Amino acid sequence: MTTSRRDFFKVTTVGGVAASMLGFDLTQAQAEVRELKIARTTETRSTCPYCAVGCGVIIHTLGDKSANVRPAVVHIEGDPDHPINQGALCPKGATIKHNIVNDRRITRPMYRAPGSGKWEEKSWDFMIDRIARLLKDTRDSKLREANALTAVGVIGGCTDNNENNYLLVKAFRAGMGIIPMEQQARI
């Protein structure tokens, strides 16, 4: 085992206590500070998902993206180049890391059977098959004149990207014929 720089300081400071007790003044020229925790991270440019100011953020993830490392978020900070936030963030944006790394995240498909009082873990195949079956049954039985399906609604997308909003509209409205499609704008 090699003596790290930190250990070396510990040794000297303990020595310092002894010296001080004996009436000597410690001559301490330097003290160590914590190393910059983002010194070796990978930076990814992104946009804060909260309000519509659209602050640029830099997501610092662990490591250099080598194949054996799963990136983990180390830190998130404002993007200093962004003309709007110029590096700043609000209290929500400043804690956005905990929106990503959070033990309350759902990580498995969960299913609640009719009348049940609990969630059950299910496979994606089960979920997609069942959802598609229900959706098709409704469409086949409830499709109205002019290809309008009003018995199924789709809400969402206001914190998702344009592309997914467009895919929702394309697949669910232009494809399936769903009329009730809304998001947060009115509310």
List the x/- string, 117-136, binding to other proteins by CB under 8 A.
x-x----x--xxxxxxxxxx
> Rounded to whole angstroms, how far apart are CA atoms 170 and 162?
12
- The least CB distance from residue 116 to other proteins, in Å, is 8
Please give the residues from 13 up to 32 whose contact with other proteins meets the rule CB under 8 A. Answer: 13, 16-17, 19-21, 23, 25-32
- The least CB distance from residue 67 to other proteins, in Å, is 13
Per rule CB under 8 A, is residue 2 in the interface with other proteins?
Answer: no
**Residue 180: what residue type?**
P
Q: What is the CA radius of gyration of the chain?
A: 28
- The least CB distance from residue 118 to other proteins, in Å, is 9
User: Is the distance from CB of 120 to CB of 111 less than 8 angstroms?
Assistant: yes
Please give the residues from 40 up to 99 whose contact with other proteins meets the rule CB under 8 A. Answer: 44-56, 59, 61, 70-73, 75-78, 80-95, 97-99
Per CB under 8 A, the list member of 2, 66, 68, 185 interacting with other proteins is 185
> Rounded to whole angstroms, how far apart are CA atoms 155 and 172?
11
- The least CB distance from residue 2 to other proteins, in Å, is 12
Per rule CB under 8 A, is residue 11 in the interface with other proteins?
Answer: no
DSSP-derived secondary structure letter, 140: H
> Rounded to whole angstroms, how far apart are CA atoms 13 and 19?
9
User: Is the distance from CB of 79 to CB of 57 less than 8 angstroms?
Assistant: yes
